[in-house]
Amino acid sequence: MRRTPTHVLAMLSCLNAFALAQGPASRPAADPFYSVARFGAVGDGRTMNTAAIQSAIDAAAAAGGGTAWFPAGTWRSGTLVLKDNVTLHLESGATLLGSTDLADYPRHRPAYRSYTDEYVDMALIYAEGARNVGVVGAGTIDGQGGDPAFKPPRGQNGYLQRPYLLRFVECRHVRVAGITLRDSPMWVQHYLACDNVTLERVTVLSNCNHNNDMIDIDGCRFVRIIGCTGESGDDAITLKSTGTRACENVTISDCNVASNCNAIKFGTESTGGFRNITITNCTVHRPSLPGVGRSQLSGISLLTVDGGTIDGVTISNIAVQGTQAPIFLRLGNRARKHTPDAPAPGVGVLRNVIISNVVATGATHTGCAIAGLPGHPIENVTLRDIRITFAGGGTLDHARRDVPEQPGQYPECTMFGTLPAYGFYVRHVDGLVLDNVQVGWEKPDRRPALVCDDVRNLTVTGLRAQAAPEAAETIVLKNSDTILIRGCTAPAGATAFLHLTDGTRFVNVIGNDLSRAAHAFRFAPGVDPHVLFEAANHLPAERP
């Protein structure tokens, strides 16, 4: 074997380093790379570059994989189709600008059937059945979604006339990182029936049109969403199941989002269900972008209304600011079929959920609801270390109102109107732990802090609440049984700490400080006081 002299190797190494230094400073490290300019694309913001960019993608795919590289510039394009082992890399200063001509977006109807067939068949970046694909870099993808072209005349299908920015269907090993996505005509990014999806440090700024969901993970498995941030005109981080596949094995962490609707949401489509989901270290706040919608519904919204099972969810370390209801759980029965020929789903299941370490401020007067259906309770929910401040202002009329069941209604935290509790209204639940929950208000509220109706196996530990003068009781139990209340403190001024009504039984109240309430307990007519066992409580001076 012929040897190269050491001094020659050293010289070649220096020359190589010099050549790299003279090239594009931020050129992707991995080769081969395919500059879209080399294939005829022009970054002037006016030239239509769809064919040229697609040629770069196709060349990379034909070579077995590579990077289609966008240098600084504004690259106008219609639909681009990603292929196996191809990554789009947008350099800092590069913008992929979506066309405002719908003719530049050919329609794609994927093989995987789902309810999204009803409202999407166009996207700026599309991949189906691809492996090892991605969109990365420090550049921007701008869909120009506020353009009049994406506001169809009244009466036309407003969904199918608006493309998504990114849509991946039945893909494997998808990575989207570092990129900024802005002004989508509809959903910003949709991952449908994909496996091994990673979203890292993605920024979304899209409040220019209706349905501007920030992230939609739909029937995907093995998903990581890390360090993403942004503002959306609709739901922010959304898990869906619009087909038969479940969303499962999903980790979401360290995200900072603002939403005009629901910030962290499961549903509404729930056909395949949701399993093994962990969400932690996220912040939710009011959006600042101008645009459509200012409703700011839920901070955390877990919904299953089209069949399907939610099972095994942990949500922790969440800061929520400025939503109507920081927490909303709903098991309903909209029973929407995921395809026209599918059988109607039955009532789903919502169970095994732990939500902990949540601090929420600026909530409205609506209250939080955890609501199942008669004969179909939500099961095994724990709320631990929760602190929420509501607007207040509720009245005794609100406290006494009957809440309709509304099994088939679209699920939102406002669906029941102003709730009978300013804190938590709980109905049709079996297995609920409230541990160190603190609720208060900014303006005096005469509703109870907690109302439970048809609740079994309830444990309340360390509840702290406020009470307005002449307010209703702090806790109301209706038609509920097997209750343990311990370590709680009755708020000063409460007319009574606990009110038992309508068939409630097997209530144990142990080790609470009830001394500041006017009365410890009240019993509705017909309720036998013997259904309550109390011990080691600090009772008011005038014991009932």
Residue-wise pLDDT tens digits, 7-46: 433 433 333 333 333 344 344 444 599 999 999 999 999 9
**Phi and psi torsions of 77, nearest 5°:** -160, 160
- Say how far apart CA 441 and CA 467 lie, in whole Å: 9
Closest by Cα among 452, 458, 506, 456 to 474: 452
Q: How confident is the model at residue 288 (pLDDT cuts 50, 70, 90)?
A: confident
Q: Which residues pair with 279 in a beta bridge?
A: 252, 315
pTM of the model: 0.93
Concatenate the DSSP letters of all residues of 234-246 into one string.
Answer: S-SEEEEE-SSSP
- The residue behind tokens 């109240």 is 509
Q: Supply the pLDDT for residue 31.
A: 56
Amino acid at position 102, single letter: L
Closest by Cα among 325, 369, 333 to 349: 333
- What does DSSP assign to residue 61? H
What stretches of 286-324 adopt beta strand conformation (E)?
A: 298-304, 309-321
The 3-state secondary structure of 428-452 reads EEEEEEEEEEEEEEEECCCCCCEEE
CA angle 145, 151, 152 (to 5 degrees): 140
Residue-wise pLDDT tens digits, 245-280: 999 999 999 999 999 999 999 999 999 999 999 999
- Say how far apart CA 400 and CA 349 lie, in whole Å: 29
- Say how far apart CA 412 and CA 336 lie, in whole Å: 16
- Say how far apart CA 452 and CA 368 lie, in whole Å: 12
Closest by Cα among 512, 458, 469 to 490: 512
- Say how far apart CA 317 and CA 284 lie, in whole Å: 11
Q: How confident is the model at residue 155 (pLDDT cuts 50, 70, 90)?
A: low
- Say how far apart CA 264 and CA 262 lie, in whole Å: 6
- Other CB atoms within 10 A of residue 514 CB: 23
- The residue behind tokens 């870099």 is 137
Q: How confident is the model at residue 287 (pLDDT cuts 50, 70, 90)?
A: confident
**CB within 8 A of 159, min separation 6: which ones?**
118, 119, 120, 186, 211
Q: Is residue 313 within 8 Å of residue 353, measured between CB atoms?
A: yes
Q: How confident is the model at residue 490 (pLDDT cuts 50, 70, 90)?
A: very high
Domain assignments of the chain as residue spans, ordered by start: 33-296, 329-544
* pLDDT above 60 (res 365): yes
Q: Supply the pLDDT for residue 289.
A: 79
**Phi and psi torsions of 264, nearest 5°:** -125, 115
* pLDDT above 60 (res 206): yes
Concatenate the DSSP letters of all residues of 369-394 into one string.
Answer: EEE-BTTB-EEEEEEEEEEEEEEE--
- The residue behind tokens 């353009």 is 147
* pLDDT above 60 (res 3): no
In the chain, % of residues over pLDDT 70: 92
**Phi and psi torsions of 306, nearest 5°:** -120, 45
Q: Supply the pLDDT for residue 29.
A: 47
Q: Which two tokens stand for residue 181?
A: 């996505």
- What does DSSP assign to residue 337? -
Range in 47-51, 65-69, 470-474 with the lowest mean pLDDT: 470-474
Closest by Cα among 84, 120, 110, 79 to 96: 79
* pLDDT above 90 (res 212): yes
What stretches of 11-93 adopt beta strand conformation (E)?
A: 33-35, 44-48, 66-70, 73-77, 80-81, 86-90
Q: Is residue 142 within 8 Å of residue 98, measured between CB atoms?
A: yes
- Say how far apart CA 235 and CA 507 lie, in whole Å: 40
Q: Is residue 462 within 8 Å of residue 449, measured between CB atoms?
A: no
- Say how far apart CA 235 and CA 227 lie, in whole Å: 17
Asked if the 329-544 domain carries CATH number 3.90.1200, the reply is: no
Q: Supply the pLDDT for residue 294.
A: 61
User: What is the CATH code of the structural domain delimited by 33-296?
Assistant: 2.160.20.10
Q: How confident is the model at residue 156 (pLDDT cuts 50, 70, 90)?
A: low
Residue-wise pLDDT tens digits, 60-115: 999 999 999 999 999 999 999 999 999 999 999 999 999 999 999 999 999 999 99
Report the phi/psi class of residue 51: left, alpha or beta, with left for phi > 0 and alpha for psi in -120 to 50. Answer: alpha
Q: Supply the pLDDT for residue 25.
A: 37
- The reply to whether domains 33-296 and 329-544 share a CATH topology is yes
- Say how far apart CA 162 and CA 181 lie, in whole Å: 16
Mean predicted confidence (pLDDT) in 165-176: 99
Q: Supply the pLDDT for residue 510.
A: 99
- Its sign, for the CA torsion 32, 38, 39, 45, is positive
How many helices and strands (H and E) does the chain possess?
3, 38
Q: What is the mean pLDDT of the chain?
A: 93
**CB within 8 A of 255, min separation 6: which ones?**
225, 226, 227, 228, 229, 237, 281, 282, 283
| Cis status of the peptide bond prior to 28, with omega within 30 of 0 | no
Q: Supply the pLDDT for residue 542.
A: 61
Residue-wise pLDDT tens digits, 217-252: 999 999 999 999 999 999 999 999 999 999 999 999
Q: Which residue has the higher pLDDT, 437 or 293?
A: 437
